[in-house]
Every structure is written in C-alpha cells, then in structure tokens.
Amino acid sequence: MNVRIQQARDVQEWMIEHRRELHRHPEVGLELPRTHDYIASTLRDLGLVGESRPAAGVTVRIPGSAPDDIVSVLRADMDALPVTERTDVPFRSTVAEAMHACGHDLHMAMLLGAAKALVDNPPRRDTVLVFQPGEESDRGALRSLEHANLTFPGQATAFALHVHALAAPGSILCRPGVFMAYGDWFTVELGGPGGHASQPHLVGNPVEAASEITIRLRELVGNLATEEHVVATVTESRIGNTVNVIPASGRLRGTLRTLTADTRTQLIGAMQDLVRDVVASHRLTGALTVHEGYPAVVNDVDFITRLETRLGQTELAGNVVAMPEPSMVIEDFAYFLRRWPGAMVYLGAQGEGNRSFNHADDVVYDESALEVGAALHLMVADGI
C-alpha cells in the first residue's frame, strides 16, 4: 500500500472524532471564535504552533524534509451555513440555525488528519496548512491570504478538495481548466406610486413586473446557454404587505453563474435591457444592480495531469473520475488559484441513503471519505 494512503488510514478514527465534534458546534461566516480556537488548540496538541487571526483563519507551516523551493499550500474551509439541521445522526448540530451542511467539517478533519500524519512523517516540500473562514459568501480566502505564512516569496502550488454529497464515497472528480463557475448576486429594485387594489388600471404593479422579470429571465438564460451552461435564478421576492393595496415598491434578489468572463458580460447586459423594458411597460421605475461575487475556479492543466498520474500509481487509481462539465457551484478558493497554480477536486462522500446535495438540511456524508481526503493532502504536500 502507498505509504501516504496508509498514514491517512491510520488516523481515520482520530479524524472521525474531530469531524463529529466540529459538526456538533458549527459557526457561520467569518467570526468563528470557537472553531478558530478548536483548530489552533488541536494543532498545538500536535506540536504545531500556528498563526491564528480572528475572522481570518489559522495557518501553520511545516518544514519539508527535502524542500525544492516550491511550497505546497493546502486549504480547508471552516464556516457552516445558516441552516437548521434535519438529520438523525447522533452528532447533529447543537446550534440553532447553523449546520455544516456543505461538509466543511469534513474538510477541516481531513486537513487535521494530514497535519497529524506530517508531524511524524514530514512532507518532502515545505507545506502550509490553511484553515479558512467565510468561504460561503464572505470572501474569507482574501483574509487568509494575508497571513504571514502565505506571504512568502517564490513559487507554490495550491490544493483543496470539496466533498460531493451525491458522488460515490472516495471517488475523486478531476477536471482541468474551469472547474467551478463565476458567481455573482443581483438585486432588482422596483418602484411606483402604489394604489388601491380595486383600481389596478391606474398604477403599475410591482408584483406583476416582478413576475414577468422572473419568467423572462428563464427565457433569456435559455437563449444564452447555447454553448455553455448559464444560470440566473431569482431566490428572493419581497413585495407588498397587505391584500387591498397595490404596493409602491418591491425587490427581487438572486444569483448568477457563468463559466467565462464574456458570457458573464453578455448575461448582465441582457438583464439590464430586460429590466428596463419590463419596468417601462408596467409604468414603474426600476434598476438592476449586480454585486460582484467570486471568480471562477480554474484548475492548472499541468497540475491536474500530474495529480492524476500520481494517483494512477496508487491504490486510488480506480477512484479517479473525469468531470465532463464544470460545476456551477462557486468557491473562493478561486483566489488561491489566482495567486498560485494548483487545483481543486471533488471528493465523493455520499452517505448511505442520502439523496440530497450539499447545503440541504438533511444531507448526510460518508465519513470513509476522510482517509481519501487526507491521503490526497499528504501526496500533494510531498509534491506531485
């Protein structure tokens, strides 16, 4: 058996214990005081003194046994989601409206497992482990990248993985180039004079305008998505507060996902035209605002090729799966890959009987994925 795979297997039960403890106590956003302390304390117990910054994560640098002037940067995200857990696992969340529904608890446990193995079996390369908060919507990567441990001169590679709740446990989904989408958020504000519900012919109705925008947005996306996948989803509508008044204002919010910068520009321009057309036809005022989100996660082709070759020489060769299309999920690991070449992969972790994707309140993950994830981190730490 490959030595790194065996080392990951040796710490499997230890990782499970930490994963479950982290799952019981989720925290949302950038301010994760308990999680920061837990990670820093666990690393100290291993003899690793890290750099810990409030709302910016924990990093630790482990010297390599035969450094080659290229640093391996390994990242795990820490934040949970504002979701009330609806599973029956014995270690379910004890925090109201907070759940590790995206699997970041597994990510932390895998990187802790790699840390434990590396204490007694140093990596070949100098390696920086990064535990990062605020991935879901707070650009926590940018704060973590300010750590002194990550401001070194010279070359590096960056690697991360993300569990996939509907992929077979232990499967490693790889893709060169665009791996995850550009992600933005939008707001449409609608305004009018408002009026009496019995006299709809006198004033424009934001409810009707919002409905038309929502329907036509789907048509617009269909027209754009001829060569690549495009997403524009309305996720929030706040209009009106009583049954006998035509409201004077309304708001729609939602998300945009594209795979190239050109398509992103086309989509935003077409949405601007759509909103102008609809508000004019309904005798309203209105405006579309697009809030820039995350850039696309773009995997380095050479890195992915080397990783697949390395895995092909181990017992994990049969676990590698080629992803035919990019994922429309977004991830702020994109900022790491803008600084250094590297990659993110999906790691299958579908729990028995689970039919829900990441973020669902009833999603269940298979903990056997922990040892595969830790093994991946260990192999990348050595350099591939």
Active site residues: 77, 136
* Contact predicate 279/286, CB 8 Å: yes
**Cα dihedral sign for 365, 366, 370, 376?**
negative
Instruction: Report which residue type is found at 51.
Output: E
The phi, psi pair for 362, rounded to 5°, reads -115, 15
The phi, psi pair for 260, rounded to 5°, reads -140, 155
Count H helices and E strands in the chain, helices first. 10, 16
Burial of 121 (0-12, 13-18, 19+ CB in 10 A): middle
Question: 177 by DSSP, 3-state: which?
Answer: strand
CB under 8 Å to 185, separation ≥6 — which residues?
Answer: 253, 254, 255, 256, 290, 291, 293
Strand partners, 286: 190
